Structure 1
Amino acid sequence: MTNFFNPPLYLQRYQFVIEFIKRNKPKKMVDLGCNDCALLRKVKFHREIELLAGVDIDSAVIREKMYALAPIPTDYLQPGDHPLTIELYQGSVTEKDHRIKGFDLVTSIELIEHLQLGDLDRFSEVVFGFMVPAAVIISTPNAEFNPLLPGLTGFRHYDHKFEWTRAEFQRWALQVGREFGYEVEFTGVGEAPGQDQTVGFCSQIGVFWRISPVSQSHEPEGPLLYKLLYSVKYPSLCDNNVLQRILVNEVLYWSENLKRRWLEETAEREEDTYSDQNTEEEEEDMEGRLAERERLYRSGRSVCVPVARLWSCPRVESLSGNISFLKQILLNDSRVSMTEDGLAVVLAEAEDEDHQDLDYSDAPECTDIRQSVVCTVEEDWGA
């Protein structure tokens, strides 16, 4: 099937979920039957999501790939505006655990066909009756497409318990919708080659939207049936320590940048061969563009960059919110030298060869993180 579709069918299914996320912007998503976490690894880059969870019965396959969900250095250098927490659980999708309640989006990609028909009712009760998310995406093989798959005999995967036609899937989905208060849209991915469009998509998809209000439950939470295998919280600008680190790094960058440009312009004026009158006119014209409080100046062998000038840098302004907060952050950070009145950042006039790197010592801890992981995704008839 890898060569039968371009892009591969599993990527088309993942892209369908990603496009749904872009349009609807859920904040909390859980992938049931997350397997090797391949979908979660793609979704985590869409930072409108604040809680991303995965559940699978096979703990070994989660443990093998879960480290790829750990933050990378870029996540600390460019943290998101909102927090992101990732949690992975070992457990059965036919069991209720209150930690998977309250999600905006539930995905079940090529999962239900691995359940016994007797477990399907329990799955429906867990997802639609217990979790009651705003939206559910369920994909499953379309049995009508199977004759087009080269070399296929029987089901697409040895572990499949059934494979439904479009009519069978739609009958089940509509019944679930009526029972739990959801409406369903039917679509799919993996179009038939050539002109044969009568068999439908290779993977059929049902998108369930909740139409009935969620009733407030006063039932006790019950036992924790799932085992938490992995949990990590990504850095974000909502964390004051992270915000301060990023803001100071931005200030230091722009301070050096403004200092360098100012020294270059000053040197050019000093070496100018034009008349003193022209030089004075050019200097007055350039300096006149800035208010007095925004002009750089020398103090001994140092260059002073006014905070008011730094405030005009869009990134600095957006991070700090107001200039009083910016001054407070700079005065309290040991990496920044300030004038006595606290109105300017003081830099050595000569270039400083020591670069200020982001400190990772306060990076949030996470469970079971290894240094490096090689992740691969293999495609078979059930992928």
Structure 2
Amino acid sequence: MEPRFNPSVNTQRHQYVIDFVKTHKPKKVVDLGCNDCSLLRKLKFHRAIELLCGVDLDSASMKKKMRELAPLPTDYLQPGASPLSIELYQGSVTQKDARLRGFDLVTSIELIEHLHLDAVERFTEVLFGYMTPGTAIVSTPNVEFNPLFPRMPGFRNSDHKFEWTRAEFQSWALKACGRYGYEAEFTGVGQAVPHLHLRVGFCTQIAVFRRLSRGGGAPASSDDSGEVFSYKLLYSVSYPSLCDNNVLRGCLVSEVLYWAHQLSRKRMEDGDEGWSHTEPETEPTGDPRETSTLREYEFEESVFDGEGAPGWEDIKMTSRGQLESYRQGRYVCVPLRRVWSCCPRVRDLSGSLARLRLFIADDPLVRLSQDGFAVVLDEGIHVLFLYSLIKRLRGAESC
């Protein structure tokens, strides 16, 4: 009976790489023979990766899907803690390019069988002798499995130049290990029924190469004296990250305004009881000579600027302090410390209340009381607030 795979063998191959990335968290990854970028489109969500590259000779295949590697709107709302850059190159895997040297992980999924055997030798030298990755994952069809596909007349794909047995694949891999200073382990995906598996092996065979310490194997390629750039850059994009102060400020502003409006709305839903009112009914200035009310909402700065994120029960207030919102005319003032106490993400992003004030003070979307202790909201601008955030997001997305 012809084997049926669920999920497909291609999905299983990609999942093997994804599981490896989840476990080992490489920062620099390149997929050789990336075709339509399907593996790259899955790997981009694993933000331990800081540089993700793809190489293929067929530029048309990459161009069909490469725009799907661009950041999503959620990447601007929830940027990663570390940067991510994605680059696509048109070029042959038998040619050298200095931009792809020293990666943590190189993947070559169902590629080598599309090369003539003399090109496989050049590919082996480029991969292990020139690129020298920390780890390489190479997969190829297992020809011993083919008899289980009775309707298959020859190779699995008309473009395949060869398909290896398990012994042939392992012989190639171990020869490369001995020459270039790697070790390999062998596995695969796509199992036959149990009583056949030992006889035919996996549908796709996989070798995982790990580079040994310096000193083993052959030295790097002899033409290292000059850098080689043989690939054509087709696509490059950088994702927003919290390493960028402008992105960090945007996230903080969005979080602070969201929580300030939520807290303000909750106080309005609770009714007038418990509201603190101050005079005059104009926009608060924070000048202590005009009103002493704002001074009543000051807190001990040391509580919020130390290590760790305080919970509600940990907050210590002065005898005159409170954490509730208060009104001044048609304006609602939400103490920053109230926002701080309700939003762990604000604490994580800013690190301290003083740093939080510094980040948001000059942002055009934020109105602070003059002393900087409260976010000032107009009760009638909730819709305008949301519109402003959407406009900011769209502006970031188009950058």
Bin for the TM-score computed over the shorter chain: 0.7 to 0.9
- How far the C-alpha of 1:74 sits from its partner, in A, is 1.6
**Given that residues 28 and 52 in structure 2 are in contact (C-alpha distance below 8 angstroms), is that contact kept between their aligned partners in structure 1?**
yes
Once the two structures are superposed, what CA deviation does each residue of 1:290-338 show, in whole Å capped at 9, x if it has no partner? 7315332222221111112222220111111121111112211111111
Mapped pair 1:344 → 2:374: yes
TM-score (norm 1): 0.86
TM-score (norm 2): 0.82
User: 3-state SS of the aligned residue for 1:52?
Assistant: strand
Could you say which structure has the greater relative contact order, defined with CA pairs below 8 angstroms and 6 or more residues apart?
A: 1
For structure 2, list consecutive stretches of 5 or more residues without a partner in the other structure. Answer: 276-311
* Stretch of structure 1 that moved more, 256-265 or 122-131: 256-265
**Given that residues 140 and 205 in structure 2 are in contact (C-alpha distance below 8 angstroms), is that contact kept between their aligned partners in structure 1?**
yes
For 1:221 and 1:75, locate their aligned partners in 2 and report how far apart those are by CA, in whole Å.
Answer: 38
Alignment counterpart, residue 310 of structure 1, candidates 339, 358, 374: 339
Structure 1 residues 257, 131: closer, same or farther in 2, change over 3 A? same
Mapped pair 1:361 → 2:392: no
**Given that residues 235 and 364 in structure 1 are in contact (C-alpha distance below 8 angstroms), is that contact kept between their aligned partners in structure 2?**
no
Once the two structures are superposed, what CA deviation does each residue of 1:156-199 show, in whole Å capped at 9, x if it has no partner? 11111110000110111011111111110100000013521121
For 1:229 and 1:216, locate their aligned partners in 2 and report how far apart those are by CA, in whole Å.
Answer: 28
For 2:272 and 2:382, locate their aligned partners in 1 and report how far apart those are by CA, in whole Å.
Answer: 19
* Map 1:1-383 → 2, pairs under 5 A: 4-193=4-193, 195-197=195-197, 198-213=199-214, 219-267=224-272, 291=317, 292-312=321-341, 313-350=343-380, 352-354=382-384, 355=386, 356-358=388-390, 359=392, 360-363=394-397, 365=399
Once the two structures are superposed, what CA deviation does each residue of 1:125-144 show, in whole Å capped at 9, x if it has no partner? 11111111110000000010
- How far the C-alpha of 1:220 sits from its partner, in A, is 3.5
**Given that residues 129 and 220 in structure 2 are in contact (C-alpha distance below 8 angstroms), is that contact kept between their aligned partners in structure 1?**
no
**1:259 alignment partner AA:** S
**Given that residues 234 and 364 in structure 1 are in contact (C-alpha distance below 8 angstroms), is that contact kept between their aligned partners in structure 2?**
no
Once the two structures are superposed, what CA deviation does each residue of 1:189-238 show, in whole Å capped at 9, x if it has no partner? 00013521121000000000111228899943434210000000111111
Aligned to 2:292: none
For 1:53 and 1:249, locate their aligned partners in 2 and report how far apart those are by CA, in whole Å.
Answer: 32
User: 3-state SS of the aligned residue for 1:324?
Assistant: helix
Over the aligned positions, Cα root-mean-square deviation in angstroms equals 2.2
- How far the C-alpha of 1:239 sits from its partner, in A, is 1.2
Identity percentage of aligned residues? 56
Runs (4 or more) in structure 1 with deviation over 4 Å come to 214-218, 362-365
For 1:114 and 1:264, locate their aligned partners in 2 and report how far apart those are by CA, in whole Å.
Answer: 67
Number of aligned residue pairs: 347
For 1:213 and 1:339, locate their aligned partners in 2 and report how far apart those are by CA, in whole Å.
Answer: 61
